[in-house]
Structure 1
């Protein structure tokens, strides 16, 4: 049985083109939407959401293509663009009665949040990104043997067919590898939650690959257009990252600053899954962002 977050009210909400998102809601007050990363689901926010729900409506969907949300076929390379997924988030918040909302994302969810902030600045009041770089900057810094850490980015960027077959041949080994490699502490992801993550990924190989493939295609085009136009995130932005820039020879704050005028950048001492490894620090940072 799939575990659920304690205190969540679960709903299926149709957002666009008949796509329904599995959505967990908790609390009341101003809305904050929390978007999960790879290879996770909304359950990664279970600790942070419980704290924020004391005075906010906390909305935690499974992204399209992940968890228990719908997984439409990617027929034209745009079905899993971050622009499409960001439009899902805006429609979801609106369907729940929130025309304006704060937004935080981790990993893949942070890329969706980034695009939502650029495409829908009148809807997103505050934005937080956890442990990711904007797509253009990510590809720019991946070079040499240091890029081996991101082998999955290159694998899933390949044309449809081979990546899906390779990953589907041993999905638990593939997705479990990242849960182990990126975790900075044991026990942050309990066995039942880990099993839920692996089940969700096992059932979503084509859509997860399509999400990553979009970041080597259509997402780059969208980001390049914004960079050329000088578009920036207009809302207060907080970025939390591990200090992995030094290993690849870049300064993360310097890469983020051209995208956000009101930027707070901080490094964390835990691993990649920071909302589960150090939820108190993540919650403090989000509350500080919401006060800006």
Structure 2
């Protein structure tokens, strides 16, 4: 499936990994990064709206969708460099960046590593990696069982997930959304097929968040590195549900922060595309 009206390209990320990239519209560039267990198609409504007056760039992250799936190389630093490289190949030395879920972690790293490239940053429904692990404790951590499963050494997680791939990935599509109609049957089938064919790379992406990503984020925290561009964070109010202050966590990382909660479910770009599009436009005015 494709986003209607967008052109598709095969562009090079780091180490020659090819990324599937949808591009539409014209004007100041905005890059949209998807999350788990999805592809760039999560942006189909938001992208078309933004393309009225922006160049909108929607890649499949490495390891997902129709992009290349190397066995390793899933640090968010590498994945962020993919995004910067793709934008440069399209002729953009600067861009606004919006990420959801796993894509938001890539966007977060891009903002830290490439502050002269990322002009505005939006992260949807995540905490930075260090904070995510810090707030997961006790029985409330059960909600993040997949984080612990995919953090295990190579072998067992891949075999377990591959044995029931559609059930595993479908579980999150069902659990995390509040509006089942927001992901039509054909789009859901696309997500399941893409994830089914990418189990090792998806696990590798999550495993990196328990290893190299923790190390690199810890180094930035110790050095006092922060996001200097305007930042918008939109989350469900699961901070209150799990007993932590999400806005305070983000304020430790961002000097110019607009933190919002939403009544939409996790898949907010699909459940509430008008809200997210308006929020992107608000961010770009700052």
TM-score by length of 2: 0.99
1:78-227 aligned within 5 A: 79-227=73-221
Give 5+ residue unaligned stretches, structure 1. Answer: none
Three-state SS of the structure 1 residue aligned to 2:180 is: coil
1:57 corresponds to which residue?
A: 55
Aligned position for 2:230: 236
Distance in 2 (alpha carbons) for counterparts of 1:248 and 1:16: 37
> In the alignment, what sits opposite 2:25?
27
Pick aligned residue for 1:271 from 231, 256, 265: 265
Superimposed CA distance per residue, residues 30-71 of structure 1 (whole angstroms, 9 cap, x where no aligned partner): 100000000000000000001100110000000000000000
Separation in 2 of the partners of 1:212 and 1:186?
25
Distance in 1, matches of 2:81 and 2:16, equals 13
Q: Does 1:13 align with 2:22?
A: no
Structure 1 runs, 4 residues or longer, greater than 2 Å off: none
User: Which stretch shifts more, 149-158 or 5-14?
Assistant: 5-14
CA-CA distance at 1:283 after TM superposition = 0.5
Correspondence for 1:39: 37
Structure 2 counterpart SS, 1:265:
strand
CA distance in 1, matches of 2:13, 2:244: 38
CA distance in 1: counterparts of 2:150 and 2:236, whole angstroms: 23
Q: Distance in 1 between matches of 2:222 and 2:111?
A: 17
Report the number of matched residues. 286
Structure 2 unaligned segments of length 5 or more: list them: none
Query: 1:52 & 1:104 partners in 2: Cα distance?
Result: 12
Partner of 1:114: helix, strand, or coil?
helix
Normalising by structure 1, what TM-score? 0.97
2:245 aligned partner: 251
Structure 1 CA distance, aligned partners of 2:13 and 2:271? Answer: 31
Q: How far 1:280 sits from its partner (Å)?
A: 0.2
Between the aligned partners of 1:19 and 1:222, the Cα distance in structure 2 is 22
**Corresponding residue for residue 71 of structure 2:** 73
Q: Return the alpha-carbon distance in structure 1 between the equivalents of residues 14 and 79 of structure 2.
A: 10
